[in-house]
Structure 1
Amino acid sequence: MQPCRRGAVILATLTAWPILLAVEAYAVGAAEPAKEPVVDAAACIAASEAQDGDKVLTECGALIDNPKTAKSDRINALIARASIYIVRGETDRAIADYGTALQLDPTLANIFNARGELYRKKGDRPKALADFASALRLNPDHVGARSNYRALALELERLGAQMAVAGRPSFNCAAARRAAEKAICADPELANLDREIDGSHARAVREAPGPAAARALQREQDAFIARRNADFGRSGYDLKKAMQDRLRRLNGADGY
C-alpha cells in the first residue's frame, strides 16, 4: 500500500474511535434500569404468626421504616407491632401505629374499632366514640363497633346525668330547715353522699323479697335520718362518717 493511502486509512480508523465509544456509551446508558428489589415481608409475617414479640418489634419495625416497603405490607406490619404494644401495655404506641395504618388506608373499620377500644381504655371517651362511629360508617354491620358505640353512648349519658346533679342532695335545699340538712347542702361531698344513700336505699327497697322486708328497710332509713338530725352538732358526732357507714350498710360488704 502506498504511504499516502495507508495514512488515510489509519486516520480514518482513529477518527472513528470516539464515535464508536460514544455509541457504546449511549447504548449502556439507554439500557432499561434494573428494577428495585421487592422488600421481603416474610420475616415480619413469621414473627407475627409465632407471636414472638421481640422479633415482631425488630422485623416488622424494619419493614415499617423501609421507604421501599409496599403499602399493604407496611399496614400489616403496623398492625402486628400494635398488637405487641397492646400486650405489653404500651397503649400510646399502639394508638400511634393504628393511626399511621389508618393514614395509609382510611377504610379499615376493624382498626378504627380497635383504636377506639384503646382510647376508651385510656379514658378518652370522645375520641373512642368518634372511632366507633367511623367504624360503623365504613361497616354498618360491624358487631363489635355497634356494641362499643352503644355501651359508650349510654355511659356518657349516665355521666352527663350524674354531672347534672353533682353536688346536689336528694332533697330540696331551698326547703332545708334542720342544721344537718343545711350542712349537707353547704358541702358538695356530703350532698353527693346523701344522694348515693338515697339511691342505694331505693334500690334495696325495690329488691326487697317482700312488703314486710321493704317496710323494715324504710323504718331503718327513717331511723338513720332522725338520728342524724338529732346528733348533728353534738360533741364527737361526725356527720360524714355516719353517712359513709350508712352507705356501706346499704350497699353490703361487696359494695353493691
Structure 2
Amino acid sequence: MLSVLSLSTAHDTVYGATGGEPAAVAQVDIAPCLAATSADDMDKASSACAEVIDNEKTAKADLIKALIARGALLARHDQIDRAIADDSRALQLDPALADIFNARGELWLKKGDKPKAVQDFGAALKIDPNHEKAKANHKAMARELERIGAQMAVAGKPSFNCRTTARAVEKAICGNRELADLDREIFASNARVIREAQNAGQARALQREQDDFIARRNAGYGRPGYDLKKAMQERLKRLNGADGY
C-alpha cells in the first residue's frame, strides 16, 4: 500500500503545485540501457534495461529498442530462452522487423528447433526478400530439412533390396532396424572413402577390404561367438576413423 508521502509525490508529479494543470511526464531515459548492452556489461544492462522495459511510460519505439538491445546481449551470453522472449515481445510490438525474425530464427536453431527456425527465416524474407542473412539461413535450413527427410525415408532400410535377398545374414539385417541402419552407413562410408582415394590403385584396395569384410560377415554369421552387430560397428569405425569422419 502506498504511503501518504508516496501518494503526494505521485500527485505532484502529474499536477503542478500552483494549479490543476497536468505537468509534463518525464521521458524514460533509454541511453543507459543501450550503453550497457553496447559495452556488453550484463550487470549494468540488467538494471538499466529493466528500468526501461518494465516502465509502462516508456515510449513504444524506445521499448522496442531496449528489447532488441537486451535480447542481443542475452544471446551473446547464451541465455537463449530469455533472448527469444525479448525478441518475441519486440516482434509483437512491431511485426515488420526482418532483422529480429532472422535473429530469433538463429536462436531457435541454437535450441535445436529447426521448424521454428525455418518459419522465422521465412517470415524475415516475406518482409525483406533481399535480406542476405535470412536468405542464407533459409537456404541452409531447407537443405538440412531435405537431408533429414531423406534420412527418414531410408531409416531402417539397408543398402540392398530385402525382397530379393536369400542369405540368412542379410535377412537378419533386414529384420533389425539398427542393423539395417548400420549396413546403410557402412555402404555410404565405404563409397566415400573410395571416392576420396588418392588414386585408382588405392580405390581398388579399399574396395577389396570392403569385399573381405562382407565375405567374413557372410561366413561368420550363425557361428558360435560371432557378434554381427559388433562386427558391423567395428567396420564402420574403421571406415570413419577414430574421430568419426
Give TM-score, length-normalised by structure 1: 0.85
SS at match of 1:173: coil
The answer on whether the counterparts of 1:61 and 1:81 sit within 8 Å (CA) in structure 2 is no
Matched, 1:214 2:203: yes
Tell me how far 1:42 sits from its aligned partner.
2.2
Q: Summarize deviations over 1:41-68 as a string: whole Å, max 9, x none.
A: 1221221232211111111012101010
* Structure with the larger helix share: 1
Counterpart CA distance in 2 for 1:215 and 1:190 is 26
Counterpart CA distance in 2 for 1:221 and 1:163 is 26
Equivalent residue, structure 1, for 2:68: 79
Equivalent residue, structure 1, for 2:124: 135
Q: Summarize deviations over 1:153-205 as a string: whole Å, max 9, x none.
A: 00000000000000000001111211211111111011000000000111112
Q: Summarize deviations over 1:23-50 as a string: whole Å, max 9, x none.
A: xxxx955xx4222111111221221232
The answer on whether the counterparts of 1:180 and 1:229 sit within 8 Å (CA) in structure 2 is yes
Counterpart CA distance in 2 for 1:218 and 1:43 is 66
Deviates more, 1:195-204 or 1:207-216: 207-216
Tell me how far 1:131 sits from its aligned partner.
0.6
204, 212, 215: which is aligned to 1:223?
Answer: 212
Tell me how far 1:85 sits from its aligned partner.
2.0
Structure number with larger C-alpha Rg: 1
Opposite residue 41 of structure 1, the aligned amino acid is I
Q: Where has structure 1 moved over 6 Å in runs of 4 or more?
A: none
SS at match of 2:163: helix
Deviates more, 1:131-140 or 1:80-89: 80-89
Q: Which runs of 5+ in 1 are unaligned?
A: 1-26
Residues 252 and 28 (structure 1 numbering): CA distance in 2 closer, same or farther, change over 3 Å?
A: closer
Deviates more, 1:194-203 or 1:79-88: 79-88
Counterpart CA distance in 2 for 1:28 and 1:49 is 43
154, 178, 190: which is aligned to 2:143?
Answer: 154
Give percent identity, aligned residues only.
63
Equivalent residue, structure 2, for 1:190: 179
Counterpart CA distance in 2 for 1:140 and 1:202 is 39
The answer on whether the counterparts of 1:231 and 1:237 sit within 8 Å (CA) in structure 2 is yes
Counterpart CA distance in 2 for 1:143 and 1:45 is 26
159, 168, 171: which is aligned to 1:179?
Answer: 168
Opposite residue 231 of structure 1, the aligned amino acid is G
Deviates more, 1:169-178 or 1:46-55: 46-55
The Cα RMSD (Å) is 1.5
Counterpart CA distance in 2 for 1:209 and 1:83 is 47
Deviates more, 1:236-245 or 1:160-169: 236-245
Matched, 1:90 2:85: no
How many residues matched? 228
